Structure 1
Amino acid sequence: MASVLFFFALLFPLLAILAKNPERHFHRIVKARFIIGFLSSALVGIFYRFRFETPVDWSKPYVMCANHTSNLDITAMVLLCPSDFSFMGKIELLDNPVTGMFFKTIDIPLNRQSKISAFKAFKRANEYIGKGQSVVIFPEGRIGDDFPPRLHDFKNGPFKLAIESQTSILPVVIQNAWQIFWDDAKRFGSRPGVVRVEVLAPVETTGLQQEHADRLRDEVRDAIKKRWNKTDGT
């Protein structure tokens, strides 16, 4: 989206300075990303409406899991979370001029073809959670090729991370971003509109062991699928 590049370019000098010491300036980089996300979306008439099943205690870290059908999903999560957090995503995002800045500083790149990369990525995520910072993961791992989109199988990683760190899962249903901006919008274009986001009640992991990861994964996927099916998803 050209508006993202525009505001990223405006803030790039500041980000370049902050990137020299990302650990010290973590909070400032998160806020800069929020500003870019909000302004770039507002400029093209895309806004976000959040609805919460229960109040969220943002003083606690979460492993935040959302369905993934659009590049707008990234902005939705950026605008949703008022506390410091990191995305975990595919290593290819390092090559993008915008996402690359954040994945070289505060986010966590993951090469799914490398067990060493995966180990390092989840170790880093655990460290962030230990500091009280949330981690956002799209458990489908990608935007599917189906249109209209469907909910694909979830990967186990986010749920193993949540169990290992004894951190609650925060399921997020992004209802209609695909209708406004499917994937990267190259095929169907984009239009102004309101992205509806529903934040479900946190799913606790206290007392769970790694052998419960599959059950936790399926529980979260079923909750997202059930709520998404009430509106646009199939």
Structure 2
Amino acid sequence: MKIFAHISWLFATIIIAVSLTIMILTFYILPRPYSRKLSAWLIRISIFFTVEVKGKEDPKAQMFLLNHQSDLDIVVMETITSRDLTWVAKKELFDMPFFGLILKLPQDIAVERESKTSLIKLLKDAKRVLKTNRVITMFPEGTRSTKDKMLPFKSGAKIVADANRLRVQPVVLIQTSKYYNIKNFYYKPGRIKAIYMESFVADKNDENWLKDLREKMQKVYDNELANNPSHR
């Protein structure tokens, strides 16, 4: 069974690489954001996973905040919304061969941890993006967590949202690492669930809203696992 999962992971990874190459080749041919959407849909269809969406996307949302477990998270989000997403990612990813180009071409936002100058740049880049009606999309945990407990949320999301008084919509993804786990070389097709929570306008006077949001998202995640045995 593990051998089959490893073979499936290799197949899925090849599909992902090919689809991302197509995104690069079509970026200047297709209107944005269709090259990225095409790539995401090719991945989703070719490796045989489906997505069940619960709740409704707020068409006025200016920022999406997602929990992060797997590389599939980006594919899921790109295929459940038609909006042009601007992903915020650590600068090291932008410097990587090939994958860095996937982030640079659409002008996604790079952040450098523990850097005050990077924070200033983040705020400037956020203003640039908002003027083009793109949606700032972040993993506030800052890195993947393959466990069922979300990591503490980094302050960057709150700083950007507060500075621009953004309408924020949280999205909870259920156990995506159960299907694609790059560390364990594991993949199996399945049905991933994405839950849109209620949107809200960031209030800079509320110092704890990001911390409270993590608790609310964790509660949604825990309730889904408790009430749906198929996720376990």
Give the TM-score band, short-chain normalised: 0.7 to 0.9
Q: Distance in 1 between matches of 2:98 and 2:75?
A: 12
Q: Is the 8 A contact 2:179 2:190 kept in 1?
A: yes
- Is 1:179 the counterpart of 2:182 in the alignment? no
Identity %, equivalent residues: 21
| Runs of 5+ unmatched residues, structure 1 | 19-24
TM-score, normalised to structure 2's length? 0.83
Q: Is the 8 A contact 1:110 1:117 kept in 2?
A: yes
| Runs of 5+ unmatched residues, structure 2 | 1-12, 227-231
User: In structure 2, the residue corresponding to 1:48 is in which secondary structure?
Assistant: strand
Which residue identity lines up with residue 116 of structure 2 in the other structure?
K
Q: How does 1:1-234 map to 2 (within 5 A)?
A: 1-15=13-27, 17=28, 28-52=31-55, 55-58=56-59, 60-97=60-97, 99-105=99-105, 106-144=107-145, 148-182=147-181, 184=182, 186-205=183-202, 208-209=203-204, 211-212=205-206, 214-232=207-225
Call closer, same or farther: CA 1:72–1:161 in 2, change over 3 Å: same
Q: Is the 8 A contact 1:69 1:149 kept in 2?
A: no
Deviation at 1:98, TM superposition (A): 5.0
Call closer, same or farther: CA 1:120–1:69 in 2, change over 3 Å: same
Call closer, same or farther: CA 1:102–1:125 in 2, change over 3 Å: farther
Residue number in structure 2 paired with 1:21 = none
Q: How many aligned positions are there?
A: 214
TM-score, normalised to structure 1's length? 0.83
Which residue identity lines up with residue 127 of structure 2 in the other structure?
N
Q: Is the 8 A contact 1:3 1:41 kept in 2?
A: no
Q: Distance in 2 between matches of 1:167 and 1:148?
A: 29
Q: Distance in 2 between matches of 1:191 and 1:95?
A: 30
Q: Distance in 1 between matches of 2:128 and 2:170?
A: 21
User: In structure 2, the residue corresponding to 1:132 is in which secondary structure?
Assistant: coil
Q: Is the 8 A contact 1:173 1:200 kept in 2?
A: yes
Which residue identity lines up with residue 89 of structure 2 in the other structure?
G
Q: Distance in 2 between matches of 1:228 and 1:44?
A: 25
Structure 1 runs of 4+ with >3 Å offset = 95-99
